[in-house]
């Protein structure tokens, strides 16, 4: 049996290929599908089967394009309500190709249509070799139960408990576990960094599987859930019908500095995908900084929304094209072009650049000691609870799309996250809103702790809606 995991770090997404007898199956494909075609060709396999473990909410799947290019059949849970050509799956479904047997388990909970796929390599044994768990069981965690308005989180959490204990945990302990996401995904809360595990290991180490009762499981799984990005529901609907081919999207067009200036006067959005350091040194005024170096697409979907048509500023034409591809992976398909020549062309056209001051934690500590600074923490609630800077204000970045924090421009506002990536996004949004005296903290809370600076713990403060004010 041929088996390969494809891991897309920026989305913390894992997809898979199984092969035997000259045929292959792809499970949970990403939007750009050439990598599966190339791998199949290298292994002398023909892709005949495509499985979706559920309607993914955090990325746009490539199942429709992959099926069109290979003639493969798509399989998805019967409760998905999929409108593309497919075979609906339920308990008892089995498929064999070569020495590979795939058996479907209906495991509702993360979503009603969620499936796990039990894979047996019959050339080795009649026992299950591995299970592809989608978003039902992660490494160290389980899927979040709050993505659907048709069911309450409590209802879905109850279904998830039954699926885990009634089906998955009945598999042999040696069965390898391969989920659809890893650490960093918003589809869970406490995922470990490993890319695979076993049923036995998860039984002993996964906190969610240690919860002694169904009632307590429901309580714990539905408390302190991270905010659900608005684009999740939109991506699930795109996947229900199947996304169009990437090749059918319009080409990314160059935009001159003067044309960009005219578009900005009409309200055009500018997305700067360079590093926080490059952005801080000089950028097109009013642009939003989401660097390609981190979870770019997820934050773009969260902060900008899928209807955004950004003009991309990048270090090169190639980086602009990469930005466009990564935006399409979450459903932002209508980029407004890219700034030809980048920031240098903007400056050469005679237009001013805006800067974002950067400060290290030693500078921040000195400012706080003299009471000449305010601090804004834009991390997630669980990070704040685990430790934060005394006196800091709390406003997580994923809330910025709803409302911005109230800002007192009388003192410098030092904005920090874990490392400086999210804080640069937050600073750019504050600058765009007209705020001034904003400083990005280089190295973030990690650097603060490494420097031995004092840390407090405790619950996050209640946040009242407030708009940013210059």
Say which residue, 110 or 470, is predicted with more confidence. Answer: 110
Q: Are residues 16 and 110 in the same domain?
A: yes
Q: Are residues 73 and 183 in the same domain?
A: yes
Q: Are residues 173 and 33 in the same domain?
A: yes
In this structure, are strands 176-179 and 270-272 parallel, antiparallel, or unpaired? unpaired
Q: Are residues 342 and 272 in the same domain?
A: yes
Whether 343 shows a pLDDT value over 70: the answer reads yes
The dihedral region occupied by 212, where left means phi > 0, alpha psi between -120 and 50, and beta the remainder, is alpha
**Three-state SS for 148?**
coil
Q: Note whether residue 455 is domain-resident.
A: no
Nearest to 187, CA basis, from 152, 155, 141, 224: 141
Query: Which of 348, 367, 389 is at the close of a domain?
Result: 348
Q: Are residues 321 and 222 in the same domain?
A: no
Give 468's pLDDT tier (boundaries 50, 70, 90): very low
> What is the distance between the alpha carbons of residues 385 and 224, in angstroms, rounded to a whole number?
11
Residue with tokens 């001034």: 436
Q: What's the confidence (pLDDT) of residue 186?
A: 77
Q: Note whether residue 157 is domain-resident.
A: yes
CA 320 to chain centre: 20
Question: What's the token pair of residue 334?
Answer: 């209508």
Q: In the chain, what percentage of residues exceed pLDDT 70?
A: 98
Q: What's the confidence (pLDDT) of residue 465?
A: 46
pLDDT (tens digit per residue) in 189-244: 788 889 999 999 999 999 999 999 999 999 999 987 878 888 999 999 999 999 99
Q: Note whether residue 466 is domain-resident.
A: no
pLDDT (tens digit per residue) in 348-402: 999 999 999 999 999 999 999 988 889 999 999 889 999 999 999 999 999 998 8
Q: What's the confidence (pLDDT) of residue 190?
A: 80
Give 463's pLDDT tier (boundaries 50, 70, 90): low
CATH number at residue 435: 3.40.250.10
Give 406's pLDDT tier (boundaries 50, 70, 90): confident
Q: Note whether residue 119 is domain-resident.
A: yes
Is the distance from CB of 153 to CB of 108 less than 8 angstroms? no
Q: What's the confidence (pLDDT) of residue 410?
A: 82
Provide Rg for the chain, Cα atoms: 24
CATH number at residue 213: 3.60.15.10
| Range of the structural domain that residue 370 is part of | 358-450
Q: Are residues 220 and 301 in the same domain?
A: no
> What is the distance between the alpha carbons of residues 10 and 464, in angstroms, rounded to a whole number?
31
Nearest to 400, CA basis, from 427, 364, 437, 421: 427
Q: In the chain, what percentage of residues exceed pLDDT 90?
A: 87
Say which residue, 51 or 191, is predicted with more confidence. Answer: 51
Classify each residue of 156-175 as buried b or exposed e, where b means 16 or more C-beta atoms within 10 Å of its C-beta: bbbbbbebbeebbeebeeeb
Q: Are residues 70 and 174 in the same domain?
A: yes
Q: Are residues 444 and 421 in the same domain?
A: yes
Q: Note whether residue 289 is domain-resident.
A: yes
Query: Which of 241, 262, 292 is at the close of a domain?
Result: 241
Q: What's the confidence (pLDDT) of residue 442?
A: 97
Q: Are residues 172 and 305 in the same domain?
A: no
Q: What's the confidence (pLDDT) of residue 213?
A: 97
Q: With residue 342 as reference, give the H or E element that holds it.
A: helix 342-348
Nearest to 297, CA basis, from 196, 380, 194, 186: 186
Q: Note whether residue 81 is domain-resident.
A: yes
Q: What's the confidence (pLDDT) of residue 170?
A: 97
Q: What's the confidence (pLDDT) of residue 460?
A: 87
Q: Note whether residue 463 is domain-resident.
A: no
Q: Name the domain count of the chain.
A: 3
pLDDT (tens digit per residue) in 244-279: 999 999 899 999 999 999 999 999 999 999 999 999
- Can you name the residues that pair with 53 across neighbouring β-strands? none
Query: Which of 201, 216, 241 is at the close of a domain?
Result: 241
Q: With residue 241 as reference, give the H or E element that holds it.
A: helix 231-241
Compute the average pLDDT of residues 342-353.
97
Q: What's the confidence (pLDDT) of residue 467?
A: 45
Q: Are residues 156 and 283 in the same domain?
A: no
> What is the distance between the alpha carbons of residues 202 and 285, in angstroms, rounded to a whole number?
49
Q: Are residues 405 and 362 in the same domain?
A: yes
Q: Note whether residue 458 is domain-resident.
A: no
Whether 75 shows a pLDDT value over 80: the answer reads yes
Q: What's the confidence (pLDDT) of residue 470?
A: 40
Is the distance from CB of 142 to CB of 158 less than 8 angstroms? no
**With the CA atoms of 357, 360, 363 and 365 taken in that order, what torsion angle do they form, in degrees rounded to the nearest 10?**
130
> What is the distance between the alpha carbons of residues 395 and 426, in angstroms, rounded to a whole number?
10
Nearest to 158, CA basis, from 223, 107, 109, 116: 109
Whole-number average pLDDT of the chain: 94
Q: What's the confidence (pLDDT) of residue 184?
A: 80
Q: What's the confidence (pLDDT) of residue 187?
A: 77
Q: Are residues 58 and 179 in the same domain?
A: yes
Distances (CA, A) of 383 to 28, 349, 396, 442: 30, 43, 10, 18
């Amino acid at each position: 049996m041929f088996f390969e995991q494809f891991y897309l770090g920026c989305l913390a997404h894992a997809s898979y290929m199984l092969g035997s007898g000259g045929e292959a199956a792809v499970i949970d494909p990403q939007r750009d599908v050439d990598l599966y075609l190339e791998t199949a060709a290298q292994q002398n396999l023909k892709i005949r089967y495509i499985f979706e473990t559920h309607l993914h909410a955090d990325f746009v799947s490539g199942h429709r394009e992959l099926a069109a290019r290979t003639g493969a059949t798509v399989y998805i849970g019967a409760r998905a309500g999929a409108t593309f050509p497919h075979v609906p799956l339920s308990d008892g479904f089995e498929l064999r190709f070569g020495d590979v047997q795939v058996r479907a388990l209906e495991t509702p909970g993360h979503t009603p249509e969620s499936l796990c796929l039990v894979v047996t390599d019959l050339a080795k044994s009649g026992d299950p070799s591995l299970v592809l768990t989608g978003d039902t069981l992660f490494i160290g965690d389980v899927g979040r139960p709050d993505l659907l308005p048709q069911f309450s989180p409590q209802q879905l959490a109850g279904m998830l408990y039954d699926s885990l204990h009634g089906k998955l945990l009945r598999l042999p302990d040696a069965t390898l576990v391969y989920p659809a996401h890893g650490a960093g995904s918003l589809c869970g809360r406490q995922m470990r960094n490993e890319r695979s595990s076993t049923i036995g290991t998860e039984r002993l180490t996964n906190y969610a599987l240690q919860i002694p009762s169904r009632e307590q499981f429901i309580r714990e799984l539905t408390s302190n859930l991270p905010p659900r990005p608005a684009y999740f529901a939109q991506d699930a609907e795109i996947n229900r019908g199947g996304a169009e081919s990437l090749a059918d999207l319009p080409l990314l067009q160059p935009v001159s500095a003067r044309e960009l200036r005219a578009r900005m006067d009409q309200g055009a959005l500018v997305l700067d995908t360079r590093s926080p350091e490059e952005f801080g040194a000089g950028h097109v005024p009013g642009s939003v900084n989401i660097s390609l170096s981190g979870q770019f697409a997820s934050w773009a979907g969260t902060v900008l929304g899928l209807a955004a048509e950004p003009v991309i500023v990048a270090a090169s034409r190639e980086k602009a094209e990469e930005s466009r591809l990564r935006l399409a992976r979450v459903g932002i398909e209508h980029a407004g072009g890219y700034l030809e020549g980048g920031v240098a062309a903007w400056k050469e056209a005679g237009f001013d650049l805006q800067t974002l001051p950067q400060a290290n934690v030693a500078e921040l500590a000195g400012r706080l000691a003299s009471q000449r600074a305010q601090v804004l923490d834009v991390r997630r609630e669980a990070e704040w609870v685990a430790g934060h800077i005394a006196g800091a204000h709390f406003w997580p970045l994923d809330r910025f799309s709803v409302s911005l924090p109230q800002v007192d421009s009388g003192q410098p506002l030092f904005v920090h996250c874990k490392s400086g990536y999210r804080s640069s996004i937050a600073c750019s949004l504050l600058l765009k809103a007209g705020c001034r005296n904003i400083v990005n903290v280089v190295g973030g809370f990690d650097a603060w702790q490494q420097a031995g600076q004092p840390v407090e713990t405790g619950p996050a403060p209640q946040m009242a809606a407030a708009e940013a004010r210059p």
